[in-house]
Amino acid sequence: MALTNPMPMGPWKITVYDQEYFQGRRMEFTACCQNIMECGMENVRSLKVECGAWVGYEHSSFCGQQFVLEKGDYPRFEAYSGSNSYRIERMISFRPICCAHHKDSRMTIYEMENMTGRQFELCDDYPSLQAMGWMNKEVGSMRVQSGAFVCYQYPGYRGHQYIMECDCHGGEFKCYREFGSHAQTPQIQSIRRIQH
Give the interface with its own copies as residue ranges (CB under 8 A). 1, 3-6, 49, 67-74, 76-81, 83-85, 87, 118-120, 125, 127-134, 137, 153-159, 189-190, 192, 194-196
121 three-state secondary structure? strand
Residue with smaller CB distance to its own copies, 92 or 194: 194
Q: How far is the CB of 80 from its own copies (least distance, A)?
A: 7
Q: How far is the CB of 161 from its own copies (least distance, A)?
A: 9
Q: How far is the CB of 118 from its own copies (least distance, A)?
A: 6
Q: How far is the CB of 38 from its own copies (least distance, A)?
A: 27
- Tell me if 176 sits within 8 A of 114, measured CB to CB: no
Residue 110's contacts (CB-CB under 8 Å, 6 or more residues apart) are 116, 117, 118, 119, 139, 140, 141, 142, 143
* Count, residues in the chain: 196
Rg of the Cα trace of the chain? 16
Residue with smaller CB distance to its own copies, 30 or 154: 154
